[in-house]
Structure 1
Amino acid sequence: MAKAGPDVDGENQGGFSSDNSSIIGFSHMHDSGTGGGSSLGNFPIFPFAGCPNDDINTCNYTSWERETPRINGTVHARPGYFDITIASNIRTEMTVTNHTALYRFSFPDTPVTSNTTLNPLILLELEDLAKTRSDGIITVHSPNGRLTGGGTFLPSFGIGSYKSYFCADFDGAQLRDAGIFSNSRAGRAQKLRIVADNNKQPSVRPSGGWVRFHKPTNAENQIVARVGMSFISEAQACRNAETEIPKFDFDGTVAAAEKVWREKLDVIQIDDGGISDVLLKAFWSGVYRSMISPQDYTGENPLWKSNEPYYDSYYCIWDSFRSIHPLITLLDPHAQTLMVRSLLDIYRHEGKLPDCRMSFCKGFTQGGSNADIVLVDAYFKNITAGVDWKLAYEALISDAEVEPMNWDVEGRGGLTSWKALGYIPTENFDELGTGTETRSISRTVEYAYNDFCIATLAKEFGYTDDYHKYLGRSGNWKNMYKADQTSFINQTDTGFVGFLQPKYMNGTWGYQDPIYCSPLLEFPQCYLNPGGHETYEGSCWMYTFFVPGDMSTLISTLGGRDPFVKRLDYLHESGILYIGDEQAFLKVFLYHYAGRPGKSAERTHFYIPSQFNDTLNGIPGNDDSGAMGSFEALTMMGIFPNAGQDVYFITPPFFESVAIKNGQTGKTATIRNVNFDPSFKNIYIQSATLDGKPYTRNWLQHSFFLEGGVLELTLGASESTWGTRAQDVPPSLGPYGNGTVNGTLAGQGAVDRRWHMPKLDMSFDASV
């Protein structure tokens, strides 16, 4: 839960950014790389070497007065540790335990500010990154200088509010005096309470507390600050701090944090084969960022009592179902199991699965009910320990059948039209609930895939009627396909015909330029803003490719394999596709369904080095709690998933070999490249063996990672026939597929089901 870091006065969704923006504080909880407003960053602290003329009112208390430039070249970061020195020559090191941040401030022998004695002052402000605090309290405890308090804040991408609490203690110098501040003035009062107005609007008044010390007693002029955090109470914040870091041992806490991170990362072993340090940094950074969220808030949930785990910062599942959760399933299946159980406990107590959630608040839905995909993906990949699958199936049926009053924050809207018309109409009449009436195209294709996933689980559990019902609904994307729709770029015909288009309730067609909502035309107009767009963060061009459950029928609809490949090439090469948005990820690998896995390899070897690297622009879009990181990590390991299905696309790893140790079975799965070339001239698979036997499928199942084994890929400099036959492509329903959903595949034997759960007693009222 604790994620300490410096906060800047510029773009600060994650708190810190590697630009030239000044430092305004150091706070103890953050969400990583979010695309909404700035998140968390509650109760920042800030150090001064002393106040000019030894007057507490000459120190700067407001964020805009105290902001201080960083000293270039002083940032040092590694898992479990961060270090930065600011222009006042104060060095700040930080580390964390589960609920507690620990800072070590090293003060200069001679303060930079003139007429200043070395009597360090550290302030703590009742604020968050987005400045949403509506009420608050801070208490100064004499004689030890402990600061406790809390406040009420707003979530960054949702509705409601949340309360947060802190407990700050200090070690390394004798306390001189302490008090509170308001606006830019300080005093020695011991308590400050801020009462919210009647509308509970954020208060703009800077407020907080301060503690001042005599010169530190150690040779390094160091003071250690420990800040425990809680969402329950001040007392629990103090208990968290005292239990987790009882002795202010900074070096020992760093060592413990590094040990835990090394255990998390060591499940991956690579033989890099001589690739560049830039790519190695990109890879390990991607893995690291993928493990930051969702966050374990178990024991800190103020909303209900439960013996189940509670995870937060699902930011958002529309982003994370595609690659974050599948990567966690591979690298940390225990954590993914706890997350699945947490999602179900949220459903148990709030009546709907979340599609986005942060700070105990309901976040905004961006498209479908995508926790459905996370649950089904988990089932087919053996994420089962302690999971109530009866409850899970009930939750899925609720998403498919029961429209909530506010589908902007949970569930699906437009279900009457979805069931009766087979699509979400433009300007839909919705008498059941309310929500933002846009994105009719993207919602339609996403609902269709949600229902596909429900159908596959219904089949597993023996619900034949449900299987056919939801499998039928999964084909609703075809109802928005306009076969004669053309597309132009700069008044030049692209030569491709047939795209998803808006449709009204009476069955007549609307129009959205197929490139609208792409980088070529009005991309910024297509977020969660009302009006004017029927796709979300992407174009009709892109969403026409989103049929993950039945790519074979899509290929047939678009003219067959060769026309499909040409159209997919155009998507990638024309500037229509933006790889910095999550729904672009799967499009890199769709060539596999057309029997052209070599083309997928070409795309991965373009996007990774050009868009994912160690420059300031080395993450192409907001990281959304690790979405970009998980995409690059999976892609570089050569195993990208089709989330919601037991399918991993095979492309050559960016290393000579990569091995993943499974946390459930202890077995190791290794993918090894033969003829590996670190300059990546050999990027095409010529042949493959699995445990020494020829392997021609261009995809893997999760059983490979559970059972372990060696997949050996022989590489060459030109595209080959490997993985190109109809029986070699991933499972699909239509004429270019194998006609199955996780069924028996011609020429390769049966899909491995040994790791799937047995049929359960699923008797319950399915009319929900």
Structure 2
Amino acid sequence: MGTINDGNTHPGATLPWGMASALPHTKDFREKANGPAYYNFGDEKIYGFGNVNLSGLGCPVAGAVPLKLSTGKFDWDIENFASTYKDEEAYAGYYKVTLEKHQLVAEMTATTRSTIYNFTPQNDDKQPINLFLDLGANTSHRKGGSLKVVSPQLITGSQLDGAFCGFQKSTNIYFALEINQPNPQVKIYENQKVTDKREVKGDKAGVVWTLDQLDQGKLEVRVGISFVSEKNALDNLRKEQGDLSFEGIHQKAIAEWNKQLQKVDIETSSNDDEQIFYTALYHSLLLPHVISDVNGEYYSREIDKVLVADDYTRYSTYSLWDTYRTLHPLLALLYPKEQRDMVVTMLEMYKEWGWLPKWELFGYDTFVMVGDPAVPVISDTYLKGITDFDTELAIEAMLATAANTKKNPTRPGISQYIEHGYIPIDDRGGDPQKFSWTNGIVWGPVSTTLEYNLADYNIAQLANVLGKNELAKEYYRRSDSYKKLYDPKTTFFRPKLKNGNWMESFNPTDRFFDIRWEGSGGKGFVEGNAWQYNFFVPHAMNDLKSLMGEEVFLSKLNDLFSNGEYDLTNEPDITYPYLFNYVKGHEKKTQQLVREKGDLHFTNTPSGIPGNDDAGTLSAWLVFSQLGFFPDAPGIPTYQLTTPKFEKATIHLDDYVYNGQTIEIIKTGENDRYFNQFTIDGKVREEVYQLSHQELVSTNELVFNTVSERLSEVKE
């Protein structure tokens, strides 16, 4: 699922939250980045296999430490490595394929920080096999690296990565690569030419092992990864793989995936439905990924220091504008220990850098996207009962950007926001013709204002539970300023000038602004238009309903879906099918739309995700939606209910925080789509369509009683 249709997922071998992954590349990355997907189902050729690959991102990154194969005389030309392929097999933690041109079967599996490959010839024609480590080929906009020959069987080095989404910072991905052949021919390349040097660097550097015959009939390759050093890459390899065989490592990968995926058991007679659900859960467990080494070390690129994570696991690759909405709430429920360490990681980033992450990658912040998205993650985590982190530090970190009107890379436009309660369209800083993520320009003043409102509400929520009453009062007030951008005449949020007048020539369907790329958002908006942001006040939905009037609220909500403006593939309106739960008597529309959108857009096919998975955000939407409850407002520990997909699902909560509670979710009655009665541990509940987090994690049984077909008519 998602390996075409711009889902940007991949079928590679990796572990939950794994640093390393073994993945086929069906693109040639030598001369250019060539897009964010490493693999597209149906592409004609495989060019090689990468060892650091990220799932569901929107800009090119990683694809690092690429291994390429050829037979016969070695030639640098890329087409010598490209091969048609067949007989693909992909399971959690394992991938296998036959490279037809080279007559090789490639198998791969992984540990958290390393990979292992078996390349097995299909015939006995005795052609030499060439294994090529090509440091000039990765997905990143930055090319090149360095390598050192430790022995004929062991190479260490690093590969450059950077310029993610136009942010110009770079870092190194370190590796240690070991083969199992006793007497290989080894050639080192610098500037695409053979050299006698044992250490080389550059964008045309690489190493080739030529093997006339294979010891034990197969070529085994092991790769350790680190973001700290070559030494740590080798240590990660040695300590995680030890003396284990390929099959031993494969079995450990299976066991780890079973452990994590079995947090939820579903009962269904449909093989397709089972695969769709567990693939979505699988994709939800790939990012953020572990970045600390087995010795606890990690590299903080912002301060250029190697530090040690003593009492937590350090994570990286925080696509927070996406993941704060669905992914982190899912991790907080099903994987609270990992979520706790992700929050601690963010707070440690603040201690090191002076701000919380916005879009952190490999030890530095890229400042990609908008808002202040770390804040709702931290607040929501605490309010879900995961409190084992420094809350005073958390408040301090939140205020470091929310109250900083000077140099503020996280919240551009903060001075205007504080002064006006909104960011004016004619006073948004920077130069749109010279856009960068840190030049102070506000991309989408309306969207950014609404994002800051949500972040401020979450600051208030955390301050409130910590007894910081005055602080809470101030930030609750700030979170209400969305009202200044609501125009009752057009019934939309719309851009305003700094003099308080509305921007004229307002078109709610406009998708083009003067920043980023065509289609990146209408005037005032980010990756959407006024329709997609019309209900983006998740922290104050009842207040928004009062502001609009219930009749307008319902009418506009219906229009959003009927006129084709709803877009599940992007984040701002991802919760909107659940908003009918806020209008009494219309809750069945939520149940209709959630099932309709889920069944339509998530299928057991390579195109089975409706768009870029955004680091698991869309997949997590499906997991929640098929279980029957959804967190529509980060910072408010309440779920909106919908009809579960399955007759029964069992959630096994973690011992950490939730004391190993088991929750059975049961669907009974005559109708698969609509429910009208809800019981908790056998007691009928008056509030049918919402459930608090505390109620959820304290119960043993939730029963959705469905209504008969003749009573299931949906009100518009």
After TM superposition, the score normalised by the length of structure 2 is 0.88
Q: Which residue of 1 aligns with 2:493?
A: 500
1:534 aligns with 2:543: no
Q: Which residue of 2 aligns with 1:765?
A: none
**In the alignment, which of 627, 630, 648 is matched to residue 639 of structure 2?**
648
Output the amino acid matched with 2:45. S
1:99 aligns with 2:97: no
C-alpha separation in 1, matches of 2:516 and 2:567: 10
Q: Which residue of 2 aligns with 1:290?
A: 284
Please list every run of 5 or more consecutive structure 1 residues that lacks an aligned counterpart in the other structure: 52-57, 112-116, 196-202, 486-497, 725-768
Q: Please state whether the residue corresponding to 1:225 is helix, strand or coil.
A: strand
User: 1:629-655: CA deviations, max 9, x gaps?
Assistant: 111111111111022210111111100
Q: Please state whether the residue corresponding to 2:298 is helix, strand or coil.
A: coil
* Cα pair 2:461 2:635 within 8 Å, conserved: no
Give the alignment of 1:571-650 within 5 angstroms: 571-595=560-584, 596-642=586-632, 643-650=634-641
Output the amino acid matched with 1:650. L
**In the alignment, which of 160, 163, 173 is matched to residue 172 of structure 2?**
163
Q: Please state whether the residue corresponding to 1:4 is helix, strand or coil.
A: strand
Q: Which residue of 1 aligns with 2:665?
A: 671
* Cα pair 2:423 2:446 within 8 Å, conserved: yes
User: 1:151-198: CA deviations, max 9, x gaps?
Assistant: 332152344111121111112x4323101135665x363535235xxx
Q: Which moved more, 1:652-661 or 1:433-442?
A: 433-442
Q: Offset at 1:403?
A: 4.0
C-alpha separation in 2, matches of 1:63 and 1:329: 45
1:252 aligns with 2:248: yes
Give the alignment of 1:117-136 within 5 angstroms: 117-133=126-142, 136=145
Q: Which residue of 2 aligns with 1:149?
A: 157
1:662 aligns with 2:653: yes
C-alpha separation in 2, matches of 1:719 and 1:384: 47
Pair 1:439–1:308, CA change in 2 (3 A): farther
Q: Please state whether the residue corresponding to 2:176 is helix, strand or coil.
A: strand
C-alpha separation in 2, matches of 1:611 and 1:343: 33
Q: Which residue of 2 aligns with 1:488?
A: none
Q: Offset at 1:465?
A: 1.5
**In the alignment, which of 491, 495, 507 is matched to residue 513 of structure 1?**
507
Output the amino acid matched with 1:27. G
Output the amino acid matched with 1:25. G
Q: Offset at 1:661?
A: 1.2
* Cα pair 1:686 1:722 within 8 Å, conserved: no
1:240 aligns with 2:236: yes
Q: Which residue of 2 aligns with 1:545?
A: 535
Give the alignment of 1:311-330 within 5 angstroms: 311-330=314-333
Give the alignment of 1:370-519 within 5 angstroms: 370-385=373-388, 387-403=389-405, 405=407, 407=409, 411-428=410-427, 430=429, 434-485=439-490, 498-511=491-504, 512-517=506-511
1:354 aligns with 2:345: no
Q: Offset at 1:617?
A: 2.0
Q: Which residue of 2 aligns with 1:47?
A: 69
Identity of aligned residues (%): 26
Pair 1:719–1:436, CA change in 2 (3 A): farther
* Cα pair 1:518 1:537 within 8 Å, conserved: no
Output the amino acid matched with 2:57. T
Q: Please state whether the residue corresponding to 1:660 is helix, strand or coil.
A: strand
Q: Offset at 1:128?
A: 5.0
Q: Which residue of 2 aligns with 1:743?
A: none
Pair 1:436–1:430, CA change in 2 (3 A): closer
* Cα pair 1:404 1:412 within 8 Å, conserved: no
C-alpha separation in 2, matches of 1:12 and 1:523: 16
Pair 1:704–1:84, CA change in 2 (3 A): farther
Q: Which moved more, 1:712-721 or 1:117-126?
A: 712-721
Pair 1:149–1:651, CA change in 2 (3 A): same
C-alpha separation in 1, matches of 2:403 and 2:519: 27
Q: Please state whether the residue corresponding to 2:630 is helix, strand or coil.
A: strand
Output the amino acid matched with 1:402. N
User: 1:511-542: CA deviations, max 9, x gaps?
Assistant: 431011299xx9962439xxx73101111112
Output the amino acid matched with 1:277. N
Q: Which moved more, 1:298-307 or 1:320-329?
A: 298-307
Q: Offset at 1:223?
A: 1.1
- Tell me how many residue pairs correspond in the alignment: 667
Q: Please state whether the residue corresponding to 2:164 is helix, strand or coil.
A: coil
User: 1:555-595: CA deviations, max 9, x gaps?
Assistant: 122221x4322321211121112111122211111111113
Pair 1:526–1:462, CA change in 2 (3 A): farther
1:301 aligns with 2:305: no
C-alpha separation in 2, matches of 1:621 and 1:95: 27
* Cα pair 1:502 1:510 within 8 Å, conserved: yes
Q: Is the radius of gyration larger for structure 1 or structure 2?
A: 1
Q: Offset at 1:510?
A: 0.7
C-alpha separation in 1, matches of 2:668 and 2:498: 56
C-alpha separation in 1, matches of 2:236 and 2:606: 36
Pair 1:470–1:191, CA change in 2 (3 A): same
User: 1:40-88: CA deviations, max 9, x gaps?
Assistant: 111101123x32xxxxxx32334454222222xx111111111112222
Q: Which residue of 2 aligns with 1:68?
A: 83
Pair 1:429–1:290, CA change in 2 (3 A): closer
Q: Which moved more, 1:714-723 or 1:363-372?
A: 714-723
Q: Which residue of 2 aligns with 1:755?
A: none
Output the amino acid matched with 2:261. L
Q: Which residue of 1 aligns with 2:211?
A: 213
Output the amino acid matched with 1:585. I
**In the alignment, which of 263, 266, 271 is matched to residue 267 of structure 1?**
263
1:80 aligns with 2:79: no
C-alpha separation in 2, matches of 1:518 and 1:293: 30
Q: Cα RMSD between the aligned structures? A: 2.6
Pair 1:719–1:136, CA change in 2 (3 A): farther
Pair 1:301–1:440, CA change in 2 (3 A): same
* Cα pair 2:25 2:48 within 8 Å, conserved: yes
* Cα pair 1:301 1:310 within 8 Å, conserved: no
Output the amino acid matched with 2:153. G
1:19 aligns with 2:37: no
C-alpha separation in 2, matches of 1:406 and 1:90: 53
* Cα pair 1:24 1:66 within 8 Å, conserved: yes
Pair 1:287–1:621, CA change in 2 (3 A): same
* Cα pair 1:168 1:226 within 8 Å, conserved: yes
User: 1:10-62: CA deviations, max 9, x gaps?
Assistant: 766242221224212111111111012x21111101123x32xxxxxx32334
* Cα pair 1:6 1:23 within 8 Å, conserved: yes
Give the alignment of 1:744-755 within 5 angstroms: none
1:713 aligns with 2:711: no
Pair 1:417–1:176, CA change in 2 (3 A): closer
* Cα pair 2:512 2:518 within 8 Å, conserved: no
